[in-house]
Amino acid sequence: MKLKPGIESLDTDNVNVSHTSPLREFAILLVSAFALLALVYVLLGLLIDRAVDWIDPATEKAVFGQLSSALDDGTPPTNAEASLQDLVNRIQQCLDPGYQVEVDLVAESAPNAFALPGGRMIVTQGLIDQMESENGLAFVLAHELGHFANRDHLRGLGRGVVLAALSSIVLGTDSGLDAVFAPASMAGQARFSRERESDADRVSLGALQCHYQHVSGADAFFRALKTAGYGDESEPAYVHFFASHPDVDSRIASLKRLSREAGYASGRERPLPEALQ
């Protein structure tokens, strides 16, 4: 046999590689993945909304009661806590989520409040420190009670679980894709909670009108935050209160609009209870 060495194929006629643009392939894959995930997320979200409507407050208390009492610090309530609980009890007469909500005051300097499954509300000392009147505090507490009444705390929990499961099971944690889906899904979550937040605000204003016969001071918390220089979107501790609106100003404006539309009155604000001053 006579050997006649040749050379391998050059770039253009190389059959072993594809000649389409890698960026094009990447874009198609990314868009498809996003579309698919968005679809699954929306469907599961709807499913959760249905499931949450099924769980009545008594069932919730039975399921999450254990967890809720595990969070209790066990110490007898301080004067401040008792005073806070008293305020919640009074507002609950106007806005009843279906069970007794228990309040815990935690020594945390970032102003925030949460509604946890099982009827436990967490309020930070930082939030109390920002308050100048009872009405301002009552608005935030009623806002959280509104979340309980609207079952948002369960929806939020459910969606959080779904998101975590979706990104880790479907995409895997080692593909590097979770890095791109995490912020994207966060944006979806924020949009979802924007609606829930403004609904809680609306319910809260109604409770204030019912309890005090006026809604003055409802925006006190946000005005105080503004003076204190908070309200920057990047402040992570205030995510809950800024998820609904990009900045404090538009939140204050939306509260004004809501109370004008509902025809709520204005009046004299009450000072903070002594134990909370």
Partner 1 sequence: MSQLAIFVVLLALGYGFGRMAESRHYRSIVEREQRHARISTLTLRTLESEPATVRRTQLVSGNVVISVDYFKRVAAGLRGFFGGNVQAYESLVDRARREAVLRLKESCPGAAHILNLRVETSSIYKGRGNGIGSVEVLAYGTAVYFDVE
Residues that bind Zn ion (CB under 5 A): 197, 200
Q: What is the dihedral of CA 231, 237, 241, 247, to 10 degrees?
A: 20
156: CB partners within 8 A, 6+ apart: 193, 196
Q: Are 220 and 131 in contact (CB under 8 A)?
A: yes
Among 33, 106, 157, 275, binds partner 1 (CB under 8 A): 33
Contacts to partner 1 from residues 170-189, by CB under 8 A: 170-172, 174-177, 179-180, 182-184
Site pattern 113..152 for partner 1 (x: CB under 8 A): ----------------------------------------
User: Which pair of tokens denotes residue 272?
Assistant: 């903070």
Question: Cβ 147 to Zn ion, closest distance in Å?
Answer: 5
12 binds partner 1 (CB under 8 A): no
**Comparison of 33 and 80: residue with beta carbon closer to partner 1:** 33
CB of 184 to partner 1, least distance (A): 7
- # chain residues binding partner 1, by CB under 8 A: 33
169 binds partner 1 (CB under 8 A): no
74 contact, one of partner 1, Zn ion, none, CB 5-8 Å limit per kind: none
Strand order in the sheet with 102-106: 102-106, 120-124, 113-116
Count of beta carbons in the 10 Å neighbourhood of residue 260: 9
Among Zn ion, partner 1, none, partner that 236 touches (CB below 5 to 8 angstroms by kind): none
> What are the structure tokens assigned to 237, written together?
């501790």
Stretch that binds partner 1, among 109-117, 159-167, 168-176, 222-230 (CB under 8 A): 168-176
Nearer of residues 154 and 200 to Zn ion, judged by Cβ: 200
5 versus 236: smaller Cβ distance to Zn ion? 236
* Cβ distance to Zn ion smaller for residue 200 or 215: 200
- Tell me the β-bridge partners of 106: 124
3-class secondary structure, 57: helix
Q: Does 75 bind partner 1 (CB under 8 A)?
A: no
Residue that has been written with the tokens 């198609």 in this structure: 28
- The amino acid that residue 252 corresponds to is I
| Residue indicated by tokens 């009147």 | 133
For residues 114 and 101, give the distance between their C-alpha atoms in angstroms, rounded to a whole number: 12
Q: Does 5 bind partner 1 (CB under 8 A)?
A: yes
Alpha helical stretches, state H, 121-267: 125-130, 134-150, 152-165, 178-212, 220-227, 239-242, 248-262
Q: Contact positions toward partner 1, by CB under 8 A?
A: 1, 3, 5-8, 10-11, 14, 16-18, 20, 22-23, 25-26, 29-30, 32-33, 170-172, 174-177, 179-180, 182-184
